[in-house]
Amino acid sequence: MQPGEALGIAAQVAVTLAGFAGIVVVFRPESVHEWSALDRFRLHLLLANSAFPLVSSLFGILLLMIDPAPVTIWRWCSGFALLIQVPFILSTSAKGRRVPSADQARVNKPLYYSIALLGTAALVLQVINVVVWNRFWPFFFLIFVSLGAAVALFVRFVILPPHTE
């Protein structure tokens, strides 16, 4: 499979997940502003883990459209991914700390730490890709991890009942 095809498929999956997130919001009995802090935080993560792969994929597709494609295309893509992901991670970790401790007790720790470990590994790969490699697969690994996290969050939204404060 060519990188452009993989990025196109990833963009389609990201748009689909974002659409499903909208469906989750619509079919919940209360409005988003009435949700618990934990459920609002989960929705924030779901939307972000759909939006970032979409934007990253579109950026990669944009660079692939340049004729001839830049020699350092995957360095640029990994750098762009770092540029949008790192500020998000910093702001999200602060937002996660503001979730009440009673809600934090309801977090699935193995799932949370598994996703955090994969996300950290993906970010480290981006740094290495910018500095040394210039390969497609590290960039796509970050997209894969983000989409996998979004799928896990979506499944939790569908399966678990809403948490009331």
Distances (CA, A) of 41 to 4, 29, 68, 134, 159: 32, 18, 42, 34, 17
The pLDDT of residue 163 is 62
Q: Which of 38, 150, 32, 36 is nearest to 105 (CA)?
A: 38
Q: Which of 163, 147, 161 is nearest to 20 (CA)?
A: 147
The pLDDT of residue 96 is 84
Q: pLDDT of 59-93, one tens digit each?
A: 999 999 998 889 999 999 999 999 999 999 998 88
The pLDDT of residue 165 is 52
| Spatial separation of the C-alpha atoms in residues 152 and 112, rounded to whole Å | 10
Positions of the chain with pLDDT lower than 50, given as ranges:
none
* CA 84, 85, 90, 92 torsion-angle sign: positive
- Which long-range CB contacts under 8 A does 96-100 form with residues at least 24 apart? 96/41, 98/37, 99/37, 99/38, 99/41, 100/37, 100/38
Instruction: Give the pair of three-digit tokens for residue 139.
Output: 């960039």
Residue 10 φ then ψ, to 5°:
-60, -40
The pLDDT of residue 164 is 57
Other CB atoms closer than 10 Å to residue 107's CB: what's the count? Answer: 15
